[in-house]
Amino acid sequence: MSCPDCFKGHVHEGEPKGKTTKLYDLDTYVIEPSPERPPKGIIVIIPDAFGWDFVNNRILADHYAQKGDYLVYLPDFMRGHSAPLSMLDSVRKVLEPGNMLAKPYHVCRALSGAIPMMVRNSIGKSHPIVKDFFVKLRKDQLEKKDGSGLPIGAAGFCWGGKHALLLARRPPAATASAASAAADQKTAAATAAPEPEPLLIDAVFTGHPSYMQIPEDVEHLAIPVSFAIGEKDAQLGPDKAEKIKSVVEALPGQAKGEVRVYKNCAHGFCVRADLSFKDSEVAQQAAEAEDQCIAWFDKYLKPVGTS
């Protein structure tokens, strides 16, 4: 996640309409559909580097609730250690031409925000926090006795995209090493294979995920996953997007996949696109990615207990 585009972009105008609460020990932004329209499911947003209180992420949550009739949760998976918004200005000034005297200051300012965020929220440290939230959420939905339990989707962006893909995977069960098997073939043969962990979500949408390892992150997907990738994404781009597409479109069983590449869009466009000109190509494609997400969940989030 060292790509400057992870910390580049625009702050959107608007006033989030949801509320904040404590959910499964995490501060969480919550937005529901209008009262006369019961939620079709739950979307949990796993955000980009700027975290749960970034206005863009909250407005995106509002759109999913209003346009898709979903109950949307945006938890503070980073526990207060998201990237500061000042980085958007510093990265912009580092990358723009000229102003050479000020660049060292802005480089230091950007690094002082990026490095702590990345260290404190490394995937190894943060994924147990993410997973614990989904474990508790799934348990609550399955235990509802009145049939009101809801299916769960994860929408992950940049940093959050990796987490969403990890939740969607079911790696093959680990096997004993050849040395261990040779030393105790009888015991190995008699030992039953461990039961796979239950899946915690029903579908995934991910916009320009970071930290991706290809094909490892996509070859063991067990649920439907939709990718939105910018043509100019410095981390993925068309070639890697094509590799992802070739893997996910061949997945068996319930694991369905799609990959959409958005022309002239860079990493981060789903969340931090410039919306100052509503008719611009990038603004329109950010809106199309929103619709892609909603359409995917409409297709694959089924009521609890149905196939």
pLDDT in tens, 260-299: 999 999 999 999 999 987 778 999 999 999 999 999 999 9
Is the pLDDT at 34 greater than 50, yes or no?
yes
Segment 243-271 shows an average pLDDT of 92
Is the pLDDT at 182 greater than 50, yes or no?
no
Is the pLDDT at 185 greater than 70, yes or no?
no
Could you tell me if 267 and 227 are in contact, meaning their C-beta atoms sit under 8 angstroms apart? no
Question: Which of 130-134, 187-191, 282-286 has maximum average pLDDT?
Answer: 130-134
Return the ∠ at Cα 223 (arms to 218 and 227), rounded to 5°.
Answer: 55
Segment 5-21 shows an average pLDDT of 93
Residue 195's pLDDT is 65
Question: Could you tell me what percent of the chain has a pLDDT over 90?
Answer: 66
Q: Name residues whose C-beta falls within 8 Å of residue 15's C-beta, 6 or more positions apart in sequence.
A: none
Tens of pLDDT along 200-233? 999 999 999 999 999 999 999 999 999 999 999 9
Is the pLDDT at 106 greater than 90, yes or no?
no
Q: Is the peptide bond before 97 cis (omega within 30 degrees of 0)?
A: no
Residue 196 backbone dihedrals phi, psi, to 5 degrees: -65, 150
Residue 101's pLDDT is 76
Q: What is the mean pLDDT of the chain?
A: 88
How many angstroms separate the CA atoms of 57 and 51, rounded?
A: 8
What confidence category does residue 179 fall into, taking pLDDT thresholds of 50, 70 and 90?
very low
Is the pLDDT at 237 greater than 90, yes or no?
no
